Structure 1
Amino acid sequence: MGRRHPADPHSRADARGLGVFAVATVLGAEEFGGDALIESLQDSYGSGEGALFSAQEFAEMTAAAVQNECLGDGWVLPTWGLTAARAGRLNEVDFGTLCTVRNVLAVLVQSSLPLRLASRAGLEDPALQHVERARAQSPRLRDYLDCAASVSRRPPAEAWKGFIPLLITICTEPGRLEAFQGDVTALDPALDDVQDLGRRALARLAPASADVAPCMPIQH
Structure 2
Amino acid sequence: MSYDRYLAICNPLHYAARMSGRSCLHLAVGSWIGGFLVSSIATVSISQLTFCGPNGIDHFFCDFIPLVKLSCNDPLLMDTLAFTSCLIFSLVPFLLTLGSYSCIISTILRIRSTVGRQKAFSTCSSHLIVVSIYYGTLLTAYMFPTTDLLSHFNKVLSFSYTILTPLVNPLIYALRNREVQEALCKAFRDLRFTSVKMKSL
Bin the TM-score by the shorter chain: under 0.3
Larger radius of gyration: 2
TM-score, reference length from structure 2: 0.26
Q: Indicate the structure with greater helix content.
A: 2
TM-score, reference length from structure 1: 0.24
